[in-house]
Structure 1
Amino acid sequence: MDILIKAEKLGKSYRQQQALANISFELKAGQILGLLGHNGAGKSTLIKSLLGAHDYDGELAIFGLSPKKDRALIVEDLAYISDVAVLPEWMKVSQLLKYMSGVHPNFELERMRAFLNKTDIKSSSKIGSLSKGMKVQLHLAVVMSTDAKVLILDEPTLGLDLIYRDTFYRYLMEWFHDGDRALIIASHEVSEVEHLLSDVLILRKGEMVLQAPLEQVEAQYTQLTVEQHNLAQAQALKPIYQKSGLGLHSLLFENVSREALMPHGKISQPGLAEIFIAKQQEASK
């Protein structure tokens, strides 16, 4: 399967501050990469590099092209949705459709209209008058109507209520499975996107602290819940993270066999949110 994005030792500095350091990953069709990290972790800097919005160190290829030199060609098949409205608010929805038909070679007007028919968005409405949820729906409709190969989403549902979030991800996944596409979802709300992901890349202060397929991540990490009298023995196995409450202690282990953990307490599979927190804490030690 063709590699859509390949980054090797990607880096970016602003004056004396290192924003990204040695970021390497590949993205192929069928993958959904979770780009996870707290605010300031480097997610936006990495996305701007992918979009060709600034210079960077290292090697980066999108569809075999350079974002520095071939941005116009790349954006025909790469799309981006952020947490802030970027559509022209002075336009009517009908004007946006006409504009997209004229400027994007892959835009399918009838597909756009079919999607909008599923929503409450009227073609006569001015974009600036739409609610945040409707604006996000409209932006997604534009992207889905261009048949993009790669879609980058940067906190796309921030500020939306649960109904709009559910609708957004439902339409997104229907579109994703309708072609050979790849997604990058940047978020710090790990629990919201975990069930969508095939791969994960976790950043902390511009550095990768974890990058792997999700099934590999699940195989590497085990959670152990112990009572106080078993805590010392469990700690001797060197957990990467620990929290306590209601007389019980929860410890997270990386690459420790379940056979070694079983005598000390109850074993369970940690969620990605627990692993995310653990890797953030581990990296700060």
Structure 2
Amino acid sequence: MTEFSLHDLPPLPKIVHATRRIGARQFDFSREVAVMAVVNRTPDSFYDRGRTFVLDSAVKGCLDAERSGADWVDIGGAPFAPGPEIPAEEEAKRVVPVVEAVRAASDVVISVDTFRPEVAHRSILAGADVINDTTGLADPELARVVADSDASVVITHSLAAPRTPYASPQYADVSRDVAGFLERRVERALGAGIPAERIIVDPGHDLNKNTLHSLELSRRLGPIVELGYPTLVAVSNKDFIGESIDAERGERIEGSLVAAALCIAQGARIVRMHNVRESVAAVRMTESILGMRQPAHLRHNMGERND
């Protein structure tokens, strides 16, 4: 029997410090994909519409996600989408108690989705391992907060200030334009003292991008992966999926799983997903097809009777 290996695929760029510790967990991003579960403590989150806004529900959502196989939970207290500004103190009141409770109960990787230095600082003190900044370090002070800690940072591409609209975004070549932005912001992170082994990049599907832009990023992820840092993709239930398959929120699971799998095949190594059980199964299957992991069992036509 001919065995399949990663050598049978076109080579992907090497990842800077592919083997890295994030919090208490060790990852080898040359051979595995991390599933990041989304838990929003907001009353107006675009997908769950406040289901985990109550503190106990948010903590339970994080721990349930881990039990369903998530490697990582991403806790948010302020949506990026246009709307009223949420003061930093209110955002911190939403996320810090969740971080504290989850950290007391689990060693799962915890990230906090924030662009505010003060919220990031308090979250790290509470036990967060990663700061997920949807503005891509627009505020240099956030880079300094991360640099002064042991936390990692996700640098995400976006153009507008959070909670503000950005009509009709234009790109000459969206994949290369996004890669150029991320490269500049990585330089900002390095200049602030954040080590390369604590940097992750995210092209920011749907953030100041229309559906055609997000589809192009999904099929041409290469320029982002070629930066050499672990690439995170947040494709779950996004509007580009809904518009592509004419599906309302709550009916985009299958489209989300396909988008995640295709991004993984191009080098994405962290996927930010809402539907954890289904996402973990899809990611593990994708890893198996790509030769990144062995099947859980080998029984079918392996010399034993198959009924």
Shorter-chain TM band? 0.3 to 0.5
**What TM-score does the superposition give when structure 1 sets the normalisation length?**
0.36
**What TM-score does the superposition give when structure 2 sets the normalisation length?**
0.34
Answer with 1 or 2: which has the greater Rg: 1
Larger fraction in strand: 1
